[in-house]
Structure 1
Amino acid sequence: MQSFRTELENPVVEKDIIDLEQKIRDFREGKIHDEKFKSLRLARGVYGQRQPGVQMVRIKLPFGKVTFKQLLKIADISDEYASSNLHLTTRQDIQIHYVSLERTPELWAKLEQDDVTLREACGNTVRNVTSSPASGIDPQEVFDVSPYAHAVFAFFLRNPICQEMGRKFKISFSSSEADTAFSFIHDLGFIPKVKFENGQEVRGFKVMLGGGLGAQPALAHVVHEFLHEDQIIPYTESVIRVFDRYGERNNRNKARLKFLIQKIGLEEFLRLVDEERIANKVKSYKIDRDAVPQPEAPGVVKYPEVEITNPARYKHWRATNVFEQKQKGFFGVYIKVEVGDIPTAQARQLVDAISPYVADEIRITQNQGLLLKFAREEALPHLFNGLSALGLAAPGFDSVADVTTCPGTDTCNLGISNSMTLSKVLEDVVYSEYEDLIYNRDIKIKISGCMNSCGQHGLAHIGFHGSSLKAQGKVLPSVQVLLGGGIVGDGIGRAADKITKVPAKRATTVLRAVLNDYQANTNDNELFNDYYDRQGKDYFYQLLKPIADLTTLQDDEFVDWGHEETFATAIGVGECAGVVIDLVATLIFEAEEKFGWARQAFDDNRFADSIYHSYSVFISAAKALLLDKGVNSSTHAGIIREFDVQYVATGEIELSGSTFDELILQINKNEPSEQFAAQYLQQAESFVQTVKAKREALIQL
């Protein structure tokens, strides 16, 4: 494990990886509490699997961009450390499975050699920043949002304000009003806009705030019709600061930003955001528009004549999987990837097959496919043949036949019923019985293994999520059926309605019933959701009610898709975010560790970072003493309030004529200057010493 210490060029990354190695060792030796260690590894992309003793590793690929070399490196890593498979996610990441915990630092170090990171791919952090996969080549876009997504990713990576939030935070950039990055389900969603001032083009974004799916979907609020491009990072920073201070931390089911906005109201939330701006690291942040250059297109080559292996299928593929880019003469080519899985051997063959014909940049799509760029028209037959040989030329990308799914019970702790096999079965139904619908890009089918919507069932026109039912004294695998979700456009979206719950083995019957009714009763050129609205929710409940009848169950319906044994629910503890640490000694140790980070940041002239680390010192130390009194506040704001009530107002702790609120909340009343950073650092150090002395006195009692 020593090799990565000399091979990495970035000392910050190297320190990160060495720290993970040491923390793993400390955890194995019993020096770190399990929940603290879980939080630490999650923030480094290491997630416990359903199978005991192994990990899922999530590889963070900002806006889904990966080069041929990076894809090959990830394939090599999966062969050496995982299960020789790459899983594409709905957040444009790649996941590998069955990794030994002890090998994750070495794995991470090797990935970093090709500029690939695991950092903050999981946990209570800013997750992967996503964008429309076609950004940069989208004929509808007003400008390329890729550099903006990259800037946001880079600014918040390792940023102290978002390392230990109450819950994860998701950001997206759509390339146009088509909103193909789903701004309305994100904590912050950005849609590009242009206006003209004095004859000059000015770039900005429509800003959507507080969206989310999960068990309780919420559609985002429009908070800016036009926010200048230089303000998107300062605004995002202010939002995250408020979320970190006021967001729920004990009940993870109520800890997302959408619940905080529901609790205090949008107007109050926006007031707090405005109040935080003085503390921001930057008041304006100019985006480098050239930070993500377009990849070099293949040179002009006279391709040899080639015979199409399957002319009819090529026609379908060309109609559904290929589009002309905004760069005339070039085409984008989508690859439909069944259940998002690419075996490593197939990944290498894919790179060999496509590299002569497309640019060296692949984008992972939100429906678990791939997008290739800058193919010339004469190269398309060669691409089709090459993809066909690999089983990757299925037509119907992003159509009814392209079902999105999460891993479900295959590997996820939270999975209730199978989603991967069900996805394949539903696709087979479409291809074999509704071939004309492979051209239909209006209807989207999405599946999640549970209600948390990793497969995005909550925004599907036809959605399913894993569940269970009881019948005949036994439990059987089931799916909740949802209808009517989807994109409206320009930040407006629809959350799908729950219709009924049926045995999982009847999901195919549900799909047939809905598609048959749609074909029989839709008006000319009527979109699915217009047809759904016209018929009404109760119409579909009555349509599907006979399918939900449990008096006609067969024995095989007690066995889930892809399984041979009788179904039993086996839900583990979810790790989509860390768990609160309630150990007093651990919190005091954390406060001292964070003080070291604050001191180091100050010495490096990173004054804003030093100030936020000092703020975290106050919070950890105060929480430690509150726990001694059995007070476990669920927010930073609550900790501040309770510390004044329990210790300052009672005279147990004196703070030089100040309340704790006044002391700690200097942070949002001062510019992040060197002078204030020095003062705040000294105050944090003094506070920790006071807390330690109080704690030692309490122990002696």
Structure 2
Amino acid sequence: MLDAAHADLVAAEPLVRASDLAEYRRGLDRHMRGEWDGERFTAFRLRFGVYGQKQPGVQMVRIKIPGGKLSPAWLRTIASANRQFAQGDAHLTTRQDVQIYSVALDRSADLLDLLYSNGITTREACGNTIRNLTACALAGACPRELVDAGKVADQLARAWIRHPLVQNMPRKMKFTVSGCATDCGHSSIHDLGLIAIEKDGQQGFRVMVGGGLGGQPRAAIEVLPFVAETELPAVIEALARLHQRYSDRRNRNAARVKFVVKRFGEEKFRTLFVEEFDRVRALPQRPWDGLEWHKPLQAAVSRAPVGLIAARDGSTAVSVLVPLGILSSEQLDSLADIAIAAGVSDLRCTREQNLVFLGVAADKVQQLVAGVTAIGLQVPASSEEVATVISCPGTTTCRIGITNSQNFARQAFASAQNDPLAKGVSVHVSGCQNSCGLHHVADFGLHGAAKKVDGRSAPHYQLHFGGDANIGVVGLGGPTIPAKLADQALGLLRKSLAETREKGESVRGWAERLGKDGIDAILAPLDASQADGLFVDWGDATDFPGAPQAKGECAAPFAMDLCYADLADDALISADRNLVVGQDDQAKAEAARALTFALRRLLHARGVGSEDDITLAAAESQVVSLWSDVAAIGQALASVDVAKVQSAEAYREAVAYALDTAAEAVAAPAAPVVAAVGDLNALFEVAE
């Protein structure tokens, strides 16, 4: 139980603790010995970035890189981890994580040991948590930035990692930070977006909430026009508490923050947020290191910056195009060597699956470019001189992927290299509707689907046109075409765009002007009857099996015991924070809430469910009856009753003792059944 002393309430957290690894080893051991079933262990391991693949018996491990901030040493460690424990290449993701694949479960703890001992975390990279905080592609170098968004993301990640409030939320939350109003962090498609601004001579952030993609894309709304940087932890706390309070734990498909906004309406949600923010910012928060703010300079804006970029400090940022974000262990090692030789200590992985070297001195630029070119990567002149193609892994590893998006994207990228019309055009590919490949926010987006052709299931892609995350525009949905014709379709679309686009017209505007009939006319040359291997997906050797039946882990299962334990700990911490500021009545109320969660945990352990509106008295009455065989529980509750009329401090201590007692009772092995000779009824009752 997390029994925080007052002095520790606002202590900063490191990304890695030795206790993280010890906790994971204990959980893995309990699962291997059969104490934890698959569902409970799944909920547990996901919090440590260990994610089940479609291939049985192996895991994808997601490495969390807050703000995309990497060092050469981290590149070496990831290379070593991939070489020793995984199979295939590493993958830079659209959320600035690094993923490695096909890790045997029984070796996963040793892999985490290697990462953690070198300062790299996987904690809360998956599961119903605050996922990796992302930032602008050129954070730390962009002349336009007011502040380094990557550093903001990193500091916020450290402020909330391990906090019990965000360990078992109704669903995940995705946050981003932008260093200026250009919003290259793409706030519009995130649960929470923070945009650095200057208002009335003060520097701070605009707060956007409730965006998201997937099956029901929705743009974020502004909830606060301005907050000071020191109030950012309170912004996150306010949103997390609203998410815990109002999101739907039963219908996992409607449990993201955007559905809470939809449920209440924008104005009511905004009111709820401001009320909660005003409440929690009056309480102690974890410390905030002041940011270094800059005077912004004029510079060109690029949706997917690559090439040589003049940085704010006079150095050069070298943005390397990494096709589909795929890097071998050898390339990772070489990139570390190249960085060190060029005197670079700060790199950033980007949402476009590229890699940026920051702070490159003028006399080292060509040396660095030659180095990355020698290992098969590119440093184009600019993003307008190259096609942007990004993709999720799809069916290469994902349980719920429908199409082999990654192998199709390889083909799309190869074709784009030979098509001058592909320059400056973005193509994003997702293996299903969930938009891990960000298909909603590309010039041309594609998401995988299964569709029958002559009674047989064949891989298909639905097309999307003209999405732009910088301005919060979701692509216009278009026709669905066979996967084997998708590359040809992209060629036809690029040709028509180049020939018929009007001056100043966006891709979405172009598609809207053409309409359904116009798009169909462009794609008319596609002939499914002439497609080779219509029923075999890109990169596959066997017929398409149809949409997967496997259960994915994007919506992580709940282990309600862990959930109740974390919520009880969070409520007790809230009691402590209220005591610090002299709000004794509220401290008692929070302590009572902590006790209620502990009692619900005890009910759950005996197979009795409880609703969120259960009263403390009702929960206590049921626990006293169900746990009459454990005297310590009754004694702890009796102590709480005595402390009710005493000071808030005394009540808090009694509740803390009750929480510890509940935890011990739940963890204790079941008592053996002792029956009289010939008395089979007792054994049958236990079996029932």
TM-score range with shorter-chain normalisation? Answer: 0.7 to 0.9
Within-5 A mapping of 1:624-643: 625=603, 639-641=611-613
Does 2:271 correspond to 1:243? no
| CA distance in 1: counterparts of 2:666 and 2:601, whole angstroms | 10
2:366 aligned residue: 381
SS of the equivalent of 2:395 reads helix
Q: Helix, strand or coil for the counterpart of 1:493?
A: coil
Query: Equivalent residue for 1:217?
Result: 217
1:147–1:288 contact (8 Å) kept in structure 2: no
Structure 1 counterpart of 2:332, one-letter code: A
Q: Does 1:359 align with 2:338?
A: no
Give the one of 502, 508, 520 matched to 2:499: 520
Partner of 1:662: none
Q: Deviations over 1:426-476 (max 9, x none)?
A: 122222122x543x2xx3210111111111111112101111110122111
Mapped partners of 1:481, 1:539: distance in 2 = 14
| Aligned amino acid, residue 503 of structure 1 | P
* Aligned twin of 1:511: 490
Helix, strand or coil at the partner of 2:29: helix
Q: Secondary structure at the match of 2:612?
A: helix
Give 1:424-435 correspondences, 5 Å limit.
424-434=410-420
- Counterpart residue number, 1:499: 478
Closer, same or farther in 2 for the Cα pair 1:564/1:620, shift >3 Å? farther
User: Could you tell me how far apart the structure 2 residues matched to 1:626 and 1:76 are?
Assistant: 43
Aligned to 1:51: 55
Distance 2:57 2:45 in 1: 14
Q: In the TM superposition, what is the alpha-carbon distance from 1:232 to its structure 2 partner?
A: 1.6
Asked if the contact 1:134–1:175 (Cα under 8 Å) also holds between the matched residues in 2, the reply is: no
Question: What code does the residue aligned with 1:382 have?
Answer: Q
User: For residues 414 and 607 of structure 1, what CA distance do their matches in structure 2 show?
Assistant: 47
| Separation in structure 2 between the aligned mates of residue 96 and residue 66 of structure 1, nearest angstrom | 16
Q: 1:610 & 1:134 partners in 2: Cα distance? A: 47
Shift in alpha-carbon separation, 1:444–1:342, aligned structure 2, 3 A = same
1:610 deviates by 12
Q: What's the CA shift for 1:62?
A: 0.6
Unpaired runs of 5+ residues, structure 1, are 1-8, 294-318, 633-638, 655-672
Change (3 A) 1:397 1:250: farther
Shift of 1:103: 2.1
Q: Is it true that 1:159 corresponds to 2:163 in the alignment?
A: yes
1:587-616 deviation digits (Å, cap 9, x = unpaired): 4x8757986898899999998999989846
Partner secondary structure for residue 17 of structure 2? helix
Q: How does 1:467-478 map to 2 (within 5 A)?
A: 467-478=449-460
Cα deviation per residue 1:152-177 (whole Å; 9 max; x = unaligned)? 10111001110000110111001222
Q: Is the 8 A contact 1:618 1:684 kept in 2?
A: no
- CA distance in structure 2 between the partners assigned to 1:529 and 1:373 by the alignment: 34
SS at match of 1:204: strand
2:27 is equivalent to residue 23 of structure 1: yes
Where 1:24 maps in the other structure, the secondary structure is helix
Who is 1:204 aligned against?
204
Name the counterpart of 1:287. Answer: 288
Quote the offset at 1:647 in angstroms. Answer: 6.9
Corresponding residue of 1:310: none
- In structure 1, the partner of 2:552 is 574
Q: Distance in 1 between matches of 2:579 and 2:69?
A: 30
Q: Is the CA contact 1:184–1:220 (under 8 Å) kept in the aligned structure 2?
A: yes
Matched residues in 2 for 1:525 and 1:648: separation? 67
What's the TM-score, normalizing by structure 1? 0.80
Letter aligned with residue 55 of structure 1: Q
Answer yes or no: is the 8 Å Cα contact 1:601–1:610 preserved in 2. no
CA drift at 1:35: 1.2
Q: Is the 8 A contact 2:64 2:120 kept in 1?
A: yes
User: How do 1:553-592 and structure 2 match up within 5 A?
Assistant: 554=531, 556-569=533-546, 570-581=548-559, 587=561
Q: CA deviation at 1:628?
A: 8.1
* 1:75 matched to 2:79: yes
Could you tell me which residue of structure 1 aligns to residue 435 of structure 2? 453
TM-score w.r.t. length of structure 2? 0.81
Q: Deviation string for 1:172-224 (max 9, x for gaps)?
A: 0012222111100111101110134xxxx421111110000111111100112
Q: Which residue of 2 aligns with 1:232?
A: 232
Out of 21, 42, 47, which is 2:46 matched to?
Answer: 42
Q: Given that residues 459 and 494 in structure 1 are in contact (C-alpha distance below 8 angstroms), is that contact kept between their aligned partners in structure 2?
A: yes
Q: Which range moves more in the overlay, 181-190 or 102-111?
A: 102-111
1:55 deviates by: 0.7
Q: How does 1:123-272 map to 2 (within 5 A)?
A: 123-196=127-200, 201-272=201-272
- Structure 2 gaps, min length 5: 1-12, 295-304, 582-586, 627-647, 672-684
Inter-CA distance 222–121: structure 2 relative to 1 (3 Å threshold): same
Task: Determine if contact 2:465/2:477 at 8 Å carries over to the other structure.
Answer: yes
Contact 2:591 2:652 in 1 (8 A): no
| 2:600 alignment counterpart | 622
1:444 and 1:163 mapped to 2: Cα distance?
36
Q: Distance in 1 between matches of 2:602 and 2:499?
A: 65
| Match in the other structure for 1:410 | 396
> How far, CA to CA, are the matches of 2:16 and 2:282 in structure 1?
20
1:6-51 superposed Cα distances (whole Å, 9 cap, x missing partner)? xxx9898222211211111111222113211111100011001111
Q: Which amino acid aligns with 2:463?
A: V
Aligned to 2:341, the other structure's residue is in SS state coil
Cα 1:69–1:674 change in 2 (3 A) is: farther
Distance 1:556 1:646, change over 3 A: farther
Q: Which amino acid aligns with 1:511?
A: L
Q: Equivalents in 1 of 2:116, 2:661: separation in Å? A: 39
Q: Tell me: CA distance 1:86–1:282, structure 2 relative to 1, closer, same or farther (3 Å).
A: farther
Where do 1:296-445 residues align within 5 Å? 321-328=307-314, 330-393=315-378, 395=380, 398=383, 401-434=387-420, 437-438=422-423, 440=424, 443-445=425-427
Other structure's SS at 2:523 match: helix
Distance in 2 (CA, whole Å) between partners of 1:25 and 1:124 is 22
**For 1:336 and 1:611, how far apart are their aligned partners in 2?**
54
**Cα contact 1:483–1:497 (8 A) shared by 2:** yes
For residues 541 and 675 of structure 1, the distance between their equivalents in structure 2, rounded to whole angstroms, comes to 73
Q: Are the equivalent residues in 1 in contact too, given 2:24–2:45 (CA < 8 A)? A: yes
Q: Is the 8 A contact 2:592 2:616 kept in 1?
A: no
Moved more, 386-395 or 115-124: 386-395
1:606–1:518: structure 2 CA closer, same or farther, 3 Å change rule?
A: farther
